[in-house]
Amino acid sequence: MSNHAPAIKPADDPAFTLPATLSALSIPLCAGGLLALVGGWALGSFGVDVQFGMSAYLTAFIYCLTIALGAMFFVLIQHISRAGWSIVVRRVAELMMVMVVPMAVLFLPIVVTLWTGEGTIYKWDDPGYAEHHHIPAEVWANKTIYLESKFFAARAVIYFAIWIALAVYFFRGSVTQDETGEKKITERMQKWSAPALIILALSMSFAMFDWVMTLAPMWFSTMFGVYMFSGGILAAHCAVAAGTYLLQKNGAMRDEVTVEHYHDLGKYIFGFVFFWIYIGFSQYLLIWYGNIPEETIWYWHRQLGVWGALSLVLVFLHWILPFIGTMSRHVRRQPTLMFGWSVYILILHFIDVYWCVMPEVYEGSGGTLAAVGGGIGIVASILCAVGMAALMIGLILRIAGQTRVAASRDPRFGESLAFENI
Amino acid sequence: MSDDKNEKKVHGIVAEYTSVDTLLDACRRVRDAGYTKTDAYTPFAVHGIDKALGIKPTVLPWIVLGGGLAGLATALAMQIWMNGINYPYIISGKPYISLPAFMPVAFELTVLFASFGAFFGMWALNGLPRFSNPIFTDPRFDRVTDDRFFLYIDAKDKSFNQAGAEKLLRDTETEYINTVVDDDTSTVIPKFLITTLITVIALSFIPLLVVARMRVTTSSQPRFHIFPDMDFSPARDAQQTTSLFADNRAMRPDVPGTVARGELEEDLDYLTGIDMESLTRLDADRAKQLVRTYAQAENGEPENSDATPKTDAPAEEKSVMDTTPWLKNNPVEITKDVVLKGQEQFNIYCATCHGRDGRGNGLVNQRAQQIMASSWIPPSSMHQESLYAEQYPDGKLFNTISNGIRKMPGYAGQIKSKDRWSIVAYVRALQQSQNASLDDVPKDQQAELKAKKADVEKALAEQAEAERKKEEERAAKAAEKE
**pLDDT single digits (tens) B392-446:** 888 888 888 888 888 888 888 788 888 888 999 999 888 888 877 777 777 878 8
- Whether residues B57 and B121 fall in one domain: yes
| Interface residue of A289, A327, A331 to substitute, partner B, most B CBs within 10 Å | A289
* Residue-wise burial string across B328-355, b where 16 or more C-beta atoms lie within 10 A, e elsewhere: eebbbebeeebbebbbebbeebbbebbb
**Residue at B447 is within a domain:** no
Q: Cβ of A3 and B21 within 8 Å?
A: yes
**Residue at A164 is within a domain:** yes
Considering only CB atoms, which chain B residues are within 8 Å of A284?
Answer: 100
Q: Give A131 or A58, the one with higher predicted confidence.
A: A58
The 10s digit of each residue's pLDDT in B160-203 is 888 888 888 888 888 888 888 887 777 788 899 999 999 999 99
Of B46, B65, B103, the CB nearest to A281: B103
Residue A398 has pLDDT above 80, yes or no: yes
**Residue at B356 is within a domain:** yes
In the structure, what pLDDT confidence band is assigned to residue A158 with cuts at 50, 70 and 90? very high
**Residue at A1 is within a domain:** no
In the structure, what pLDDT confidence band is assigned to residue A248 with cuts at 50, 70 and 90? very high
Instruction: Please tell me the distance in Å from B341's CA to the nearest CA on chain A.
Output: 32
The 10s digit of each residue's pLDDT in B18-40 is 999 999 999 999 998 888 889 99
- Whether residues B305 and B392 fall in one domain: no
The pLDDT value recorded for residue B310 is 43
| Interface residue of B21, B24, B46, B47 to substitute, partner A, most A CBs within 10 Å | B47
Beta carbons of A86 and A78 less than 8 angstroms apart: yes
**Residue at A3 is within a domain:** no
**Residue at B363 is within a domain:** yes
Per the structure, how many domains does chain B have? Answer: 3
**Residue at B216 is within a domain:** no
Could you say which of B420, B436, B452 is where a domain stops? B436
Q: What angle do CA A29, A35, A41 make, to 5 degrees?
A: 130
Of A1, A285, A289, the CB nearest to B47: A1
The 10s digit of each residue's pLDDT in B253-270 is 877 777 766 666 667 777
- Whether residues B15 and B126 fall in one domain: yes
Pick from B417, B439, B419, B441: nearest CA to B429: B441
**Residue at B418 is within a domain:** yes
The pLDDT value recorded for residue A294 is 87
In the structure, what pLDDT confidence band is assigned to residue A8 with cuts at 50, 70 and 90? low
Kindly state the average pLDDT of the residues A403-412: 89
Per the structure, how many domains does chain A have? Answer: 1
Say if A20 is an interface residue toward chain B (CB within 8 Å).
no
Beta carbons of B17 and B130 less than 8 angstroms apart: no
Phi-psi region of B257 (alpha: psi -120 to 50; beta: other; left: phi over 0): left
Expressed as residue numbers, the domain containing B16 is: 1-187
**Residue at A291 is within a domain:** yes
Residue A179 has pLDDT above 70, yes or no: yes
- Whether residues B346 and B296 fall in one domain: no
Instruction: Please tell me the distance in Å from A142's CA to the nearest CA on chain B.
Output: 27
Residue B299 has pLDDT above 50, yes or no: no
Kindly state the average pLDDT of the residues B52-72: 93
Listed by number, the residues of chain A in 322-341 with a beta carbon closer than 8 Å to a beta carbon of chain B are 327-329
**What distance in Å separates the CA atoms of residue A290 and residue A203, rounded to the nearest whole number?**
28
| CATH number, residue B345 | 1.10.760.10
In the structure, what pLDDT confidence band is assigned to residue B85 with cuts at 50, 70 and 90? very high
Beta carbons of A88 and A416 less than 8 angstroms apart: yes
**Residue at B407 is within a domain:** yes
In the structure, what pLDDT confidence band is assigned to residue A81 with cuts at 50, 70 and 90? very high
**Residue at A359 is within a domain:** yes
Instruction: Please tell me the distance in Å from A122's CA to the nearest CA on chain B.
Output: 32
Instruction: Please tell me the distance in Å from B118's CA to the nearest CA on chain A.
Output: 15
Kindly state the average pLDDT of the residues A181-210: 95
Expressed as residue numbers, the domain containing A212 is: 20-417
Q: Cβ of B103 and A420 within 8 Å?
A: no
**What distance in Å separates the CA atoms of residue A71 and residue A93, rounded to the nearest whole number?**
5
SS3 call for A81: coil
**Residue at B201 is within a domain:** no
The pLDDT value recorded for residue A389 is 97
Kindly state the average pLDDT of the residues A252-267: 91
- Whether residues B18 and B140 fall in one domain: yes
The chain B residue lying nearest A291, using CA atoms, is B92
**Residue at A11 is within a domain:** no
Residue B371 has pLDDT above 90, yes or no: no
Give the range among A45-49, A266-270, B78-82, B163-167 with minimum mean pLDDT.
Answer: B163-167
The pLDDT value recorded for residue B311 is 42
The pLDDT value recorded for residue B7 is 65
- Whether residues B281 and B355 fall in one domain: no
Say if A270 is an interface residue toward chain B (CB within 8 Å).
no
**Residue at A74 is within a domain:** yes
Of B61, B93, B100, the CB nearest to A285: B100
Could you say which of B129, B164, B187 is where a domain stops? B187
The answer to ipTM > 0.85 is: yes
Please tell me the pTM assigned to this model: 0.71
**Residue at B290 is within a domain:** yes
Percent residues over pLDDT 70 in chain A: 96
- Whether residues B71 and B107 fall in one domain: yes
The 10s digit of each residue's pLDDT in B196-205 is 999 999 999 9
Residue at A414: amino acid letter: G
- Whether residues B114 and B63 fall in one domain: yes
The pLDDT value recorded for residue A222 is 94
- Whether residues B367 and B288 fall in one domain: no
Could you say which of B187, B217, B237 is where a domain stops? B187
Q: Cβ of B21 and A327 within 8 Å?
A: no
- Whether residues B413 and B293 fall in one domain: no
Considering only CB atoms, which chain B residues are within 8 Å of A288?
Answer: 100
The pLDDT value recorded for residue A27 is 95
**What distance in Å separates the CA atoms of residue B440 and residue B434, rounded to the nearest whole number?**
11
The pLDDT value recorded for residue B236 is 83
Q: Cβ of A285 and B50 within 8 Å?
A: no
- Whether residues B303 and B351 fall in one domain: no
**What distance in Å separates the CA atoms of residue B50 and residue B42, rounded to the nearest whole number?**
13
- Whether residues B306 and B358 fall in one domain: no
Considering only CB atoms, which chain B residues are within 8 Å of A421?
Answer: 47
In the structure, what pLDDT confidence band is assigned to residue B319 with cuts at 50, 70 and 90? low
